[in-house]
A and B are shown apart, each in its own frame.
Chain A
């Protein structure tokens, strides 16, 4: 065996250890697109809230606005998820891998716990008409999901998660500006993160 073979062997071992425990088919572009969807959603959301005089949950126009905002948030979430799945699949295929592998299953399983808990938490807030905390709950539970996810994918995801949690806490403390915090967390941070990841790993 030659010396350079030893190096090749060791680097191949390291590479396999990494690829078999981390899901690296996540694309930076899907972060950018998710950010754009969120900013568009926030724009429509702002417009729906502009005309409201106060946030009395018993007023019919407030109820309509809440339904509208919920639908926008759901649409942003579903669109982002589909985009992320589709781009990951494309990236995995390009590398000759299967997007559905033990690591992606583990990733989804781990992320599922905070995401589903968060979804139920927000559903309860809606039922209880505690609207002031909804944007904060979205940010905090999503941030927790990202911190968990970082164990199974790029470690940079962890910092995005911490930033989302921090924004969520700020939103909780400033409920009047919660849509702005929501737009920063889901819109601007995703675009910054996606751009950074694209240039770091995909160029």
Chain B
């Protein structure tokens, strides 16, 4: 059965993006390498999706150095949290309607 996608956030259409948001929703911040390990995606793939979410202002980026290694931390923004919540509610509503 096909489902109406009107209420879905276009930014979350991609699976990796939704996964990134799931992790950031329950963690104060997460670094790039840890996200890569967790989601098991390539550097380039992860970077491009993070950039996309950053452009939507759903996540904020904090770059720093630990010793000589660059360390990039990502955190969810208020806007991102609201959007993610709305998306989850839409998913839940779909399931309820079908019962």
Contacts and interface: CB of A to CB of B under 8 A. Distances in A.
Interface of A: 1-3, 6-7, 9-10, 12-13, 16-17, 19-21, 96-98, 101-102
Given A9-B91, A20-B26, A3 B18 contact: no
Interface string B85-99: 000100110110010
B87 to A, nearest CB: 10
Q: Which of B2, B22, B25 has the most CB of A within 10 A?
A: B22
Nearest to A98: B37
Contacts of A3: 1, 3, 94-95, 98
B86 to A, nearest CB: 14
B47 interface: no
Contacts of B5: 1
A10 B96 CA distance: 13
Interface residues of B, number: 25
Interface in B1-28: 1-3, 5, 15, 18-19, 22-23, 25-27
A66 B22 CA distance: 52
8 contacts: A1-B2, A2-B1, A6-B94, A9-B91, A12-B19, A20-B22, A21-B26, A102-B34
Given A7-B95, A10-B91, A17 B26 contact: yes
Nearest to B1: A3
Contacts of B41: none
Interface of B: 1-3, 5, 15, 18-19, 22-23, 25-27, 30-31, 34, 37-40, 88, 91-92, 94-95, 98
Contacts of A1: 2-3, 5
Q: Which 7 A-B pairs have the closest CB atoms?
A: A20-B23, A13-B22, A16-B22, A17-B26, A98-B37, A1-B3, A102-B34
Nearest to B12: A9
Contact of B38 (A7, A13, A19): A19
Given A17-B25, A96-B40, A101-B34, 20 more contacts: A1-B5, A2-B2, A2-B3, A6-B3, A6-B95, A9-B15, A10-B92, A12-B15, A13-B18, A13-B22, A16-B22, A16-B23, A17-B22, A17-B23, A17-B26, A19-B38, A20-B27, A98-B37, A102-B27, A102-B30
